[in-house]
């Protein structure tokens, strides 16, 4: 489960929510069930302060 959330965005289809957290993770949530839809995405060296998605909705983009 991610730590304090610093950013959040709905995908255009409103099926998923993407969140970035202080614990350097990105989480993809199922908007209907509130369950984690994809294994936590890790790899940032610092907290994730912004998240978005590609225009086609296939890729998560994140930053500090």
| Token pair belonging to 15 | 């099926």
The answer to whether the beta carbons of residues 23 and 3 sit under 8 Å apart is yes
User: Element (H or E) spanning 38, and its range?
Assistant: strand 36-42
Let me know if 56 is exposed, middle or buried by CB neighbors in 10 A (0-12, 13-18, 19+). Answer: exposed
Report pLDDT for 18. Answer: 92
pLDDT in tens, 12-60: 788 899 999 999 999 999 999 999 998 888 988 999 999 998 888 788 8
pTM: 0.82
């Amino acid at each position: 489960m991610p730590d304090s959330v610093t950013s959040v965005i709905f995908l255009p289809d409103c099926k998923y929510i993407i969140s970035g957290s202080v614990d350097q993770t990105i989480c993809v949530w199922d908007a209907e069930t509130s369950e984690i839809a994809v294994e936590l995405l890790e790899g940032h060296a610092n907290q994730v302060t912004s998240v978005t998605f590609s225009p086609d909705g296939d890729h998560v983009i994140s930053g500090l």
